[in-house]
Structure 1
Amino acid sequence: MTAPSHPEMEFNDCFSLTYPGNPYPGDLIEVFRPGYQHWALYLGDGYVINIAPTDGVPASFASAKSMFSTKAVVKMQLLKDVVGNDTYRINNKYDEMYSPLPVDEVMKRSEFIIGQEVAYDLLVNNCEHFVTLLRYGEGISEQANRAISTIGFVTAAVGAFSLLGLFSKRQRQKYY
């Protein structure tokens, strides 16, 4: 059994930030913070489950603070409190690659972990990994993959420039 589809969210609407739609239990919620996205999973009745740094910080700063955190706490909060003044959308973007778990299983997994402290790592165990693990049984984060790719590219570029710098220095020494 898969999660109910959103008939009001046709392909063109799924990228709209102005029409968040009506989430169903088990839906992934993407919250747009300045410079990054925070992720939550809709539980129903206006509540979501998400992770936040263990020290209490306002929702709008929670994910930014988590860049430096190694632990997070699983919270059940009102969607409106998590979103604050930011925008959000329903974004079950991995549904074509992974089958969503049955909603009742997602809810049981969620109830079990609320209030627990969990390991956190921006690149391998972040808020998107957390909610996709609940929905699909597998932690996925496109945002982290992009960051890892960027870090890899920058590291390779710095290495290449360093190598070129050393190479040209050696070449100059040969000729003098």
Structure 2
Amino acid sequence: MAPTLDIEKLRLGDLIEISRGTYQHWAVYVGNGYVVHLAPPCEGPGGGSSSMMSVLADSAMVKKEFLWNVVEEDEWQVNNGLDREHSPRLGFVIANEAMGWVGRSVPYSIFSGNCEHFVNNLRYGKNVSGQVTQATNAAIGLGAAGLVVFGVLALARGIGRENRNKE
């Protein structure tokens, strides 16, 4: 699928969310059609973070690449969704700071230092990732559901034993 937005409408510091199927890759717009983003060092130019190997990486390279090379054929959108909760920094400040990171290798953790953490830190000064929060909440929900099922099964087993003991 072709990109979903006109590049002319992008503003410095806009956060770009790129759908990679099972997860979202994030970049920050720095002007003239370029974005800055985190990508595992094992991926070549234009590779973005489309590889599941990024989950296993313990470091990532900060890259400046042309937006279309990062997006490729994936769907994308501007997503400055945290603007309602946090005050964004000025666009030129975000872009300048992002450019200062280009070429650096940084520690990477899918849980505390992924590409979404990186861009949110640039825009808001907040190390947050909605994907990690959603995954954590889902895991907690599944764990709670598992405990409920376990409890119901244990209760049913206990009632079954009581009924057998009464016979």
Q: TM-score range by the shorter chain?
A: 0.7 to 0.9
Q: Distance in 1 between matches of 2:153 and 2:67?
A: 52
Q: Distance in 2 between matches of 1:60 and 1:73?
A: 11
Are the aligned partners of 1:123 and 1:145 in contact in 2 as well (CA < 8 Å)?
A: no
TM-score by structure 1 length?
0.78
Secondary structure at the aligned position of 1:105 is classed as helix
Residue 79 of structure 1: aligned partner: 67
Match of 1:54 among 37, 41, 62: 41
Task: Tell me, yes or no, if structure 1 residue 97 matches structure 2 residue 85.
Answer: yes
Q: CA deviation at 1:169?
A: 2.2
Where in structure 1 do 4 or more consecutive aligned residues deviate above 3 Å? 17-21
Are the aligned partners of 2:88 and 2:124 in contact in 1 as well (CA < 8 Å)?
A: yes
Residue 140 of structure 1: aligned partner: 128
One-letter identity of the residue aligned with 1:30: E
Secondary structure at the aligned position of 2:16 is classed as strand
Task: Tell me, yes or no, if structure 1 residue 160 matches structure 2 residue 166.
Answer: no
One-letter identity of the residue aligned with 1:46: G
Note the residue ranges of structure 1 that are not aligned, 5 or more in a row.
1-16
User: Sequence identity, in percent?
Assistant: 32
Label 1:151 to 1:70 Cα distance change in 2 as closer, same or farther (>3 A).
farther
Are the aligned partners of 2:43 and 2:49 in contact in 1 as well (CA < 8 Å)?
A: no
Note the residue ranges of structure 2 that are not aligned, 5 or more in a row.
none
Higher Cα Rg: structure 1 or 2?
2
Label 1:60 to 1:71 Cα distance change in 2 as closer, same or farther (>3 A).
closer
Are the aligned partners of 2:36 and 2:98 in contact in 1 as well (CA < 8 Å)?
A: yes
Q: More deviation in 161-170 or 28-37?
A: 161-170
Match of 2:158 among 157, 166, 170: 170
Residue 5 of structure 2: aligned partner: 19
Aligned length: 159
Q: How does 1:117-128 map to 2 (within 5 A)?
A: 117-128=105-116
Q: CA deviation at 1:162?
A: 1.9
TM-score by structure 2 length?
0.82
Q: CA deviation at 1:41?
A: 0.1
Q: CA deviation at 1:60?
A: 6.1
Label 1:174 to 1:54 Cα distance change in 2 as closer, same or farther (>3 A).
farther
Q: CA deviation at 1:111?
A: 2.5
Q: CA deviation at 1:29?
A: 0.8
Task: Tell me, yes or no, if structure 1 residue 110 matches structure 2 residue 98.
Answer: yes
Q: More deviation in 114-123 or 88-97?
A: 114-123
Label 1:96 to 1:48 Cα distance change in 2 as closer, same or farther (>3 A).
same
One-letter identity of the residue aligned with 1:29: I
Are the aligned partners of 1:20 and 1:90 in contact in 2 as well (CA < 8 Å)?
A: no
Are the aligned partners of 1:27 and 1:41 in contact in 2 as well (CA < 8 Å)?
A: yes
Label 1:101 to 1:35 Cα distance change in 2 as closer, same or farther (>3 A).
same
Label 1:152 to 1:65 Cα distance change in 2 as closer, same or farther (>3 A).
same
Q: Distance in 2 between matches of 1:103 and 1:121?
A: 26
